[in-house]
Amino acid sequence: MNVLGVVLWAGLGLALAQQQLLLQRPPRLLELRQAAASSGPAALSLRFSRPLEPASVAARSSFRPALPFDVQGSGNPLLLLPKAGERILSPLRLRLGGEDGRGLALAPGERFWDPRPHLLAVVPVAGGEQLQVRQHDGRWTALTPVWPAIPEVQPLGDGSGVGLVSRNGQGDHLVWRLGLRTRNLTASPAGLGVVVQQNLERLNDEPLLFAQLSSNRSGDLLVQVSPRAGGGETTLLWKRDGGRQSLALEASGPIALLPQGGEVIVPESEGLSLRSLPPQPPRRQVLPGSRDLSSFCPVAGRALLVRHWPDFRRSLELVEPGQAPRTLWLGSAGLAASACSRGGERVWAVLIEGISQPRLVLLGLDRSGTVRQRRELTGWELEPGTGLHYDPTTDSLLLALRPHPRAQGAGSASEPQRQQARAALIDASSLKLDLLGQPVRQVSWLVAG
């Protein structure tokens, strides 16, 4: 055998020996990250150095406090998914285990996980308004400078930051993107779940007449603006990776990015249109009628619409792919806001009933439109310009409520303070109300990224 043959056989032998050595080593966890779960609370994506048996991962893994879960997938990665209907109200410690196809066990390890969202609020302060976050221990942390007003806040759908609009004393608007970092998944409980401010980036140079924002689960930010100097409305898509894209869209109202990405809902004179975004081929589908987008459901392709009828009634409709809109509620009351779980299995609607003495009512509906819950929010009214927000992780609804004028004591020196809105946390199953003490102008959820 010549020298070249000896070298080749030696290299092959070394490679086989290394392969056998690697096969005898226990499998390792290569990546653990939080993944969005449309059916309920957030999930965990697990990637290993070699495929593990899903049944063994389910049997050898556990949470403290206890949390029932399923393991989905047949290869690598796997998805660890809390069971539908479970709610997570505190940080979790995950002990992860499992075996590969040869019976070799995963090296033991644990992680700390807090998938609960944070409450974001525009807070009135001396000199104007400020964006603040409520940490899980109840502390409020300032995230922005104080501006005369903050008319709009749009949390990015991946939890990486917030888009917001500020307004100065002359009525000029500016658009900003604020980066945020949250340690939701760590090897140590120290600092778990704390939101930390990062860079604040101004997205426009010239003053604006108005600006409207939308985001998706990828963290992209759609910015719809009208310059004060004229030139018509412009729609820009600021990508999560830093890229920017100008969109040729004409709309009669706010444009909304679909949560799953790739498409937008555009209000037009003839109805609502669903349009694809570049680089996809142009595609346009129209749902005719006088309708407004009310809210998206977590499952892709599901949303709630408000339809306006010629006799001044309104209806709440559930839309699903390939099906005609399904009417869940129809009436003459004002339909102020809505939210839904999963694919619309549970729906909540905020109504304003009555004219001379309006009452704020929260309804809980099933997907057939049957009223399962009803609560009058006596003595309160919805803060103008705010909506209803649902969090599947804690099974909580979020509202900004302010005392109704009739509920105020006349002549009280503290009346202006008492009339300020407050954040209301509502148990989505019982509709039990928990009002926070912090005055607010707007509220929203920042999802755990």
What pLDDT score was predicted for residue 13?
Answer: 52
39-52, pLDDT tens digit by residue? Answer: 678 899 999 999 99
What pLDDT score was predicted for residue 418?
Answer: 53
> How far is residue 369's CA from residue 382's CA, in Å, rounded to a whole number?
23
Contact 195, 179 (CB under 8 A): no
> How far is residue 9's CA from residue 334's CA, in Å, rounded to a whole number?
81
How many C-beta neighbours within 10 Å does residue 240 have? 18
272-317, pLDDT tens digit by residue? Answer: 999 999 989 999 999 999 999 999 999 999 999 999 999 999 999 9
Contact 221, 156 (CB under 8 A): yes
Q: For residue 93, what are the CA distances in angstroms to 56, 96, 299?
A: 19, 10, 27
CA-nearest of 18, 20, 26 to 100 is 26
What average pLDDT score do residues 379-405 get? Answer: 95
CA torsion sign for 316, 429, 71, 42 is positive
Cα 363 versus chain centre, distance: 22
What phi, psi does 302 have (nearest 5°)? -105, 140
> How far is residue 311's CA from residue 320's CA, in Å, rounded to a whole number?
26
CA-nearest of 408, 350, 370, 397 to 117 is 397
| Domain definitions of the chain by residue range | 22-113
> What's at 21, amino acid-wise?
L
CA-nearest of 246, 195, 200 to 223 is 246
> How far is residue 184's CA from residue 44's CA, in Å, rounded to a whole number?
11
Contact 345, 383 (CB under 8 A): no
Coil/strand/helix, residue 20 = helix
> What tokens appear for 389 in the block?
């927000």
> What's at 299, amino acid-wise?
V
> How far is residue 370's CA from residue 328's CA, in Å, rounded to a whole number?
8
What pLDDT score was predicted for residue 231?
Answer: 72
**Which comes out higher in pLDDT, residue 419 or 71?**
71
Contact 46, 56 (CB under 8 A): no
372-390, pLDDT tens digit by residue? Answer: 999 999 999 999 999 999 9
For 22-113, the fitting CATH number among 1.10.630.10, 3.40.50.720, 2.60.40.1220, 1.10.8.640 is 2.60.40.1220
> How far is residue 365's CA from residue 346's CA, in Å, rounded to a whole number?
6
Under DSSP, the state recorded for 170 is: T
What pLDDT score was predicted for residue 14?
Answer: 52
pLDDT category of residue 37 using cuts at 50, 70 and 90: confident
Share the mean pLDDT of the chain: 91
81-112, pLDDT tens digit by residue? Answer: 999 889 999 999 999 999 999 999 998 889 99
